Amino acid sequence: MRTKFEEQLNYLNNILIDMGTTVERAIAAANKALIGQDVELAKVIIAGDDEIDGKEKEIESLCLKIIIQQQPVARDLRLISAVLKIITDLERIGDHATDISELTLLMAGREYIKKLEHIPMMAELTMKMVTDSIKAFVDKDIDLARDVIARDDEVDELFVTVKGDLIKMIREDAANGDQAIDLTMVAKYFERIGDHATNIAEWVIFSLTGVHKDIQVL
């Protein structure tokens, strides 16, 4: 029975890694489409959101199957519970990649009012946070999970910088208003991706310790 359980957990790890990789690629592609104002790539990202949703449903189904068949307790139950939370955050990250791509389409055909500098930095940071949060789960690495959480402050600081720059541009010329708002929303979506990566890291810690945000749950 335990051998079967271990096989299911190994498969769960593999498909979770696959979902994480798909989400990472969506973030990278959304950033590339934004910078290059690549309409066709943005459309591909939007269409690909269904794939991420499908992976979430597959993992959720497997988790429920494991709970019913194996009736896990203690650390094993924490692990399955954490996976169910993690895939929700991954799905939301995929949604934000789509949101960014939709804004890319909205801004297509117009030159950006300013050179994109800090937003691509946010994209790179959040991609690495997502990658490392999943790696922390697979490797059971609490230190890496904590490092991901610490990096969220960097993303937040970049968002404040982007927002401040764009507000200044609106004040200088009201004609910048529409695009400045759109770019602020893009930055906000990347900031939210960082938040979701942080959530994943927190669930990694929970799966290993039974403590989530200083509250002992299981």
User: Can you give the pLDDT at residue 109?
Assistant: 87
Q: Which residue has the higher pLDDT, 102 or 74?
A: 102
Q: How sure is the predictor about 217, in pLDDT bands with cuts at 50, 70 and 90?
A: low
User: Can you give the pLDDT at residue 215?
Assistant: 58
Dihedral pair phi/psi, residue 215, rounded to 5°: -115, 120
Measured from the Cβ of residue 109, the count of other Cβ atoms closer than 10 Å reads 8
Q: What is the mean pLDDT of residues 16-36?
A: 96
Q: What's the CA gap between 36 and 41, in Å, rounded?
A: 10
- Architecture of the domain whose range is 2-216: Up-down Bundle (1.20)
DSSP conformation letters of 74-110: HHHHHHHHHHHHHHHHHHHHHHHHHHHHHHHHHHTTS
Q: Is the pLDDT of residue 214 over 70?
A: no
For 117-140, the pLDDT digits (tens) are 999 999 999 999 999 999 999 999
Chain centroid to CA 19: how far? 11
Q: What is the mean pLDDT of residues 132-156?
A: 97
Among the residue ranges 65-74, 141-150, 209-218, the one predicted with the least confidence is 209-218
User: Can you give the pLDDT at residue 6?
Assistant: 87
Q: Is the pLDDT of residue 154 over 60?
A: yes
What integer best gives the mean pLDDT of the chain? 94
Residue 69 makes CB contacts below 8 A (sequence gap 6+) with: none
Q: Which residue has the higher pLDDT, 130 or 218?
A: 130
User: Can you give the pLDDT at residue 196?
Assistant: 98
CB contact at 8 A, 86 and 200: yes
Q: What's the CA gap between 214 and 135, in Å, rounded?
A: 22
How many alpha carbons fall within 13 Å on the CB side of residue 177?
4
User: Can you give the pLDDT at residue 2?
Assistant: 66
Q: What is the mean pLDDT of residues 151-165?
A: 97
User: Can you give the pLDDT at residue 211?
Assistant: 85
The residue written with tokens 């990566």 in the block is: 197
Annotated domain spans of the chain: 2-216
User: Can you give the pLDDT at residue 216?
Assistant: 56
User: Can you give the pLDDT at residue 1?
Assistant: 53
Q: What's the CA gap between 215 and 48, in Å, rounded?
A: 37
